[in-house]
Amino acid sequence: MNIEQSFKMAIKSLRTSKMRSFLTMLGIIIGVASVIILVSLVNGLSSEITSSLEAAGTNTISVNIMGRGSNKSFGADDMAAFIEENKERFKAYSPVVNAQATAKNGVDSVTTSVTGVNELYAGMQGVTLEAGRFIQFIDADRLQKVCVIGTYIADELFDGAVYADSTVKINGSSYTVVGVLEETADSTEGSGDDIIYVPYTTATRLAGNANVSSYTIAARDVANIDDTVDLIRTELYGAFGNENAYRVVSMSQMIDMMNEITGSIAVVLVGIAGISLVVGGIGIMNIMLVSVTERTREIGIRKALGARRSAIMSQFIIEAATTSAAGGVIGILVGAALSFAAGAVFDMSVAPSVGAVLIAFGVSVAIGMIFGYFPAGKAAKLHPIDALRYE
């Protein structure tokens, strides 16, 4: 009996006992579907995070000064002088001061994030305006109480109708609204639209700290971003003499770190889902042992007619692999459908990975062959006379 005949017999066996075949394949279906769903969700999450980080610019460098283990400082003026000395390496920079504050207009109020920046921040981070202007140099230089608000703040405090010289109270002080940001995240609480930008010099007072500890820097050359990061670290080490006093990370490094983390998560989740495949394989082995017992006389007749041990063995291995492969195909279809459904629920761009589909199908076939080997070996070792006498 050749492979084609063995395959046809396997298909016939699946059709003959549909319910038993389905229950046998159920573990494989669940395992394959789980692998595809989990890999698709992790890949979708990774793409979302990567897109968000790339939107900030792959040439962007984040600098945080903690001052641990040192009584020295490196202020905004020091950073400005350093950037000026290395203009061939740096395109722009901005101090970043973060604070939580209460914004109020009349009886309406919200608790929101206030970020202090300079006039170059919008260009580096791709911030666009729906109306008005962004923070300017003179605003920071003169500690002007002006602000640029997100659409969520505009909707909550002004019902979306912000006019020239509208004012908003931030922690009790009156600020003039000079611009409204373009909507980026459906104007919901906690989103990118729930934000207020003010001059960084003004923000230090809101934060209750005169020292600027964070900076966003744009490098001129992305190809040499690592060298640029090393240049900043060297400067800060010279100022503090302690590597624990600061942290410098480029956006490309952050993307690499996130990809590593999501990759590790994917491996762990796939490993957990793979347990279902092992359980499915045990189910296939169990049902194949039953099949060998049921077809003992058939095996005896074939052996009496001259069938070789290898032919008997290949027949049952192919049957087990076909059963497992059929379960794998159904699992792929179920997994793909549920992946798209999960993407819609979590509002993510989720698509089954071709690699994950191929690996899941390959593993399902391999499991059928591996777990079908023992029943096939048992069938091949049956003595013709004993098999013919079996009742």
Q: Give the DSSP per-residue string, 113-170.
A: EEEEE-TTHHHHHT--EEEE----HHHHHTT--EEEE-HHHHHHHHTT---TT-EEEE
- pLDDT of amino acid 63: 93
Whether residues 31 and 118 share a domain: the answer is no
Which of 50-59, 144-153, 197-206, 271-280 bottoms out in mean pLDDT, i.e. has the lowest? 50-59
Shared domain for 206 and 191, answered yes or no, is: yes
> Do 44 and 124 sit in the same domain of this protein?
no
Q: Which range in 21-25, 92-96, 266-270 is most confidently predicted, on average pLDDT? A: 92-96
Among 250, 284, 310, where does a domain finish?
250
Q: What residue type is 117 in one-letter code?
A: V
Which pLDDT belongs to residue 12?
Answer: 72
Residue where a domain terminates, one of 181, 216, 250: 250
pLDDT digits (tens, 9 = 90+) for 154-180: 999 998 788 777 899 999 999 999 999
Domain co-membership, 223 together with 277? no
How deeply is 314 buried, as exposed, middle or buried, from its count of CB atoms within 10 A (0-12, 13-18, 19+)?
middle
- How many domains does the chain contain in total? 2
Check whether residue 92 and residue 222 sit in a common domain: yes
Amino acid at residue number 133: R
pTM exceeds 0.85 for this model:
no
Q: Are both 227 and 138 inside the same structural domain?
A: yes
Whether residues 87 and 33 fall in one domain: no
Of 100, 135, 139, nearest to 120 (Cα)?
Answer: 135
Q: What is the mean pLDDT of the chain?
A: 83
Boundary of a domain, candidates 218, 250, 282: 250
Residues in the chain: 391
Q: How many CB atoms lie within 10 A of CB 224?
A: 13
Q: What is the mean pLDDT of residues 38-56?
A: 77
d(CA 208, CA 272): 48
- What does the alpha-carbon distance between residue 247 and residue 9 come to, in Å, rounded to a whole number? 66
Q: Please report the pLDDT score of residue 346 as a whole number.
A: 77
Q: Are residues 64 and 39 both part of a single domain? A: no
| Domain identity same for 351 and 295 | yes
Range of 328's domain? 3-52+257-389
Cα 136 to Cα 84: distance, rounded to the nearest angstrom: 19
Q: Compute the distance between CA of residue 346 and CA of residue 361 in angstroms, rounded to an integer.
A: 26
Q: 267 and 230 in one domain?
A: no
Between CA 117 and CA 127, with CA 122 as vertex, the angle to 5 degrees is 125
Q: Are residues 276 and 157 in the same domain?
A: no
pLDDT of residue 275: 81
264-305 confidence digits (pLDDT tens): 888 888 788 778 788 888 888 887 777 777 666 776 777 677
What is the pLDDT at residue 276? 79
Q: Within this chain, do residues 267 and 171 fall inside the same structural domain, yes or no? A: no
CB 38 within 8 Å of CB 291? no
Token pair 């006093």: residue? 245
Task: Give the residue-averaged pLDDT of 347-367.
Answer: 80
pLDDT of residue 82: 93
- 108-156 pLDDT, tens digit per residue, is 999 999 999 999 999 888 889 999 999 999 999 999 999 999 999 999 9
